Amino acid sequence: MQTTDPIAQFKETQKQGWAPFIPLETHTTPTAARLVQHAGIAANQRVLDVACGTGVVAITAARTGARVTALDLTPQLLERARENARIAGVDIDWHEGDAEQLPFDDGAFDVVVSQFGHIFAPRPEVVVGEMLRVLKPAGTIAFSTWPPEFFVGRTFLLVSRYAPPPPPGVAPPPLWGDPNVIRERLGSRVKDMVFDRDRMLIPALSVAHHRTNFERTAGPVIKLVEVLAASDPERLSQLRREFDALTAEYFRDNLVRQDYLLTRATKV
């Protein structure tokens, strides 16, 4: 890492942190279909998937006959995305890059989507500016996000109490799950905003199984667990107890309920 810019350093940490995400694509696969449907993606549309990870939304969109471009920060996930596209038999234009600096022309896409992705770009006003810039007028922006009041949003809050504070100017990702914040962030640049909600169900054999999987795959948490294990094991135990108590509220029939928000709007 050759930079002293805190925002650039933050992104570099994100890039490394997200590399083990691949097993979680099983859970984001059904919700990808839900987002493609919510966005109304159809054959021949030019679609951009921002923070595409292993390509679950991009590939689902391409299977409708859309012409899809997808971008992510993390090269290991793009490698998996290429493999997924090869298996599915679809062509996608993959890019390694930053959602806050999209390497595409103004108005290049009919639809811009992001599933639990653009929320990790540190500066909401920058990423939303970019997503709307590359969208054509009357085009559709659509995304899935985690509300602060449900399981994943509450998990972010819990983890943030144990982690070092992010650099100034980095917004908490679950704010993207609040319709009022979304209205404010997209503002008068869009019209016809539509919200919906759905549920991701995560199989788990026990609350502790869920935590173990989470600690091995969730980008922002992996490093924190490593640091606490070395520096303050009692604090790590406390985090684990709190995480288990939170999970227990949402755990039933060997499933963890993760409710999420879907948003769609039309660029003015």
Ligand X SMILES: C[S@@+](CC[C@H](N)C(=O)[O-])C[C@H]1O[C@@H](n2cnc3c(N)ncnc32)[C@H](O)[C@@H]1O
Q: Does 52 bind ligand X (CB under 6 A)?
A: yes
Least distance in angstroms from the C-beta of 232 to ligand X: 27
Q: Distance (Å, rounded) from C-alpha 96 to C-alpha 49?
A: 12
What value, to the nearest 5°, has the Cα angle with vertex 44 and ends 42 and 50?
A: 75
Q: Is 217 buried (19+), middle (13-18) or exposed (0-12) by CB count in 10 A? A: middle
Q: What is the DSSP string of 217-242?
A: H-HHHHHHHHHHHHH-HHHHHHHHHH
Contact stretch for ligand X (CB under 6 A) within 52-60, 174-182, 203-211, 236-244:
52-60
Q: Is the Cβ of residue 95 or residue 240 nearer to ligand X in the bound state?
A: 95
Contact stretch for ligand X (CB under 6 A) within 21-29, 132-140, 187-195, 224-232:
21-29
Query: Could you say which of 7, 77, 222, 228 contacts ligand X (CB under 6 A)?
Result: 77
Beta carbons within 10 angstroms of residue 16's beta carbon: 15
Query: Could you say which of 98, 110, 130, 215 contacts ligand X (CB under 6 A)?
Result: 98
Q: Distance (Å, rounded) from C-alpha 5 to C-alpha 9?
A: 6
Least distance in angstroms from the C-beta of 263 to ligand X: 15
Q: Is the Cβ of residue 99 or residue 134 nearer to ligand X in the bound state?
A: 99
Contact stretch for ligand X (CB under 6 A) within 117-125, 131-139, 162-170, 228-236:
117-125
Q: Does 34 bind ligand X (CB under 6 A)?
A: no
Q: Is 138 buried (19+), middle (13-18) or exposed (0-12) by CB count in 10 A? A: exposed
Q: Is the Cβ of residue 6 or residue 137 nearer to ligand X in the bound state?
A: 6
Q: Does 81 bind ligand X (CB under 6 A)?
A: no
Q: Does 51 bind ligand X (CB under 6 A)?
A: yes
Residue 55, SS3 per DSSP: coil
Residue 9, SS3 per DSSP: helix
Using CB under 6 A, list all residues that contact ligand X.
11, 14, 18, 21, 25, 28, 51-54, 56-57, 72-74, 77, 98-100, 115-117, 120-121
